[in-house]
């Protein structure tokens, strides 16, 4: 199970500092949407150069112009780029095609998706990686429930990541569903000791995996 560190609402310097502290603990680096909007593709290139062996997720949250945005992400060194599930089929299939050319992957963000049929449709399009996402603003009025997982339950052939305010306390509930990737942002990046926060989260993941 991968631990994906989400770098959101941070300066370039903070991103690099946090990576220095946590890179030996985390598996995937997510360059957050806001960070990309602030610094453009340059921040992805810089992180790629600094961490050549890490999997980099560019959280582009593309919703149109899929071919162009996927090319931007992969050319900058991303291994995975994201697209919103509500996008046109053509946006998603174009991105899958570009991903194939670059040997990369597309993660479809299920923010706002209510029906399993939508996930089944994504699978028919060729999608093999989705993220269950309880958004930042939604976190202000609620928290992710285990009903979120009913969207992907028993759908085989699709890897699943999960994101949305996950911390060391909520992690055991999330892990019951055995997602492929756990995405954690603020529960690491907002902590005083980020290295220790990442280590604790990784430890819970590894302990849970051993006992499963």
Ligand X SMILES: O=C(CO)[C@H](O)[C@H](O)COP(=O)(O)O
Residues that bind ligand X (CB under 6 A): 6, 8, 30, 32-33, 59, 136, 163-166, 183-187
Helix (H) and strand (E) counts for the chain? 9, 8
Q: Residue 32 or residue 104: which is nearer to ligand X going by CB?
A: 32
CB of 200 to ligand X, least distance (A): 14
208 phi and psi, to 5 degrees? Answer: -65, -40
> What's the token pair of residue 55?
């999997």
Q: Residue 77 or residue 164: which is nearer to ligand X going by CB?
A: 164
CB of 86 to ligand X, least distance (A): 15
CB of 30 to ligand X, least distance (A): 6
Q: How far apart are CA 56 and CA 49, in angstroms?
A: 11
Residues 6+ apart with CB under 8 A from 45: 76, 77
Q: Residue 97 or residue 173: which is nearer to ligand X going by CB?
A: 173
CB of 96 to ligand X, least distance (A): 20
Q: How far apart are CA 39 and CA 177, in angstroms?
A: 35
Q: Residue 44 or residue 187: which is nearer to ligand X going by CB?
A: 187
> What's the token pair of residue 51?
């961490």
């Amino acid at each position: 199970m991968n631990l994906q560190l989400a770098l959101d609402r941070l300066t370039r310097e903070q991103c690099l500092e946090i990576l220095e502290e946590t890179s030996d603990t985390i598996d995937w680096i997510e360059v957050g949407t806001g960070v990309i909007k602030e610094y453009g593709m340059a921040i992805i290139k810089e992180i790629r150069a600094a961490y050549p062996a890490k999997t980099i997720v560019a959280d582009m949250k593309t919703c149109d112009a899929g071919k162009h945005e996927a090319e931007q992400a992969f050319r900058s060194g991303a291994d995975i780029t994201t697209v919103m599930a509500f996008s046109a089929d053509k946006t998603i299939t174009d991105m899958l095609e570009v991903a194939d050319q670059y040997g990369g992957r597309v993660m479809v963000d299920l923010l706002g998706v209510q029906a399993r049929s939508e996930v089944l449709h994504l699978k028919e399009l060729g999608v093999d990686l989705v993220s269950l996402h309880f958004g930042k603003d939604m976190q202000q009025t609620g928290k992710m429930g285990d009903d979120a997982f009913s969207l992907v339950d028993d759908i085989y052939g699709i890897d699943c990541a999960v994101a949305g305010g996950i911390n060391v306390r909520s992690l055991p509930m999330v892990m019951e569903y055995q997602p492929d990737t756990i995405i954690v942002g603020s529960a690491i990046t907002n902590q005083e000791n980020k290295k220790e926060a990442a280590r604790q989260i990784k430890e819970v993941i590894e302990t849970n995996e051993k006992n499963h």
